Structure formats: C-alpha cells, structure tokens
Amino acid sequence: MGARLVRLDGMQFGWLRVVGRAIPPAGVTSRVAYWTCICDGGGKGCGNIRVVRSDALRNKSIRCCESCTIAHKMHGVFPTVTIVGSRGESTTFGLK
C-alpha cells in the first residue's frame, strides 16, 4: 500500500505557488507526485511555470523557476562588471 498524497494546491514554497497536480515527465517511473507551480520572481511578476516534485518543494531544494535561479545566482556572484580599455578608460555594468 502506497503513501497517501499530501495536497499542496495553493501553497507557497519560496517564490513558487502551487496551482495544481502535474503529469510526471516522460520516462519517469517513480511514484512521487509532481506539481505545476507559478514563479512570482520574488514579487517581480516572473510568471514562469515549472513542474516540480513534491519532495523538492517540501525539503526546500527548489524555490523558484530556472530563470530566477540563474538571475539570483548571477547577481550574487557578479553584481558589477568593469571593463578597462587600452587607454585606461573604464565602463562599469551592473546587473539589476
């Protein structure tokens, strides 16, 4: 007898809001539940949809969509880039 399904509809996990149950990706044979989530981009209205395993939501290993994950990591690692030309002039670019 399998484990009972814990309903996650309407719950918020980081920037992800669960909107409903999802069909597991092709080729997945595990019996773990998958959920369709919408990312709010930390209040910036991202709106990307991501299908996530229930255990990844509950153990906090996935907290946002792929786009926000990359942007968040890039902002933390490279907040600004300064390019110095051959004559000593410099231009600084910041990530927003």
Per-residue pLDDT of 26-64, as tens digits, reads: 888 888 899 999 988 767 768 889 999 999 999 988 888
Residues 29 and 65: their CA atoms lie apart, in Å, by 23
Q: How many domains does the chain have?
A: 1
Going by pLDDT thresholds of 50, 70 and 90, the confidence category of residue 21 is very high
Q: Is residue 7 one of the residues assigned to a domain?
A: no
Instruction: Provide the whole-model pTM.
Output: 0.66
Q: Is residue 53 one of the residues assigned to a domain?
A: yes
Q: Is residue 57 one of the residues assigned to a domain?
A: yes
Which tokens sit at 59? 């153990």
Q: Is residue 51 one of the residues assigned to a domain?
A: yes
pLDDT at residue 82 in the model: 64
Residue 4: pLDDT above 50? yes
Residues 64 and 17: their CA atoms lie apart, in Å, by 9
Q: Is residue 4 one of the residues assigned to a domain?
A: no
Q: Is residue 92 one of the residues assigned to a domain?
A: no
Domain with 51, as residue range(s), is: 12-70
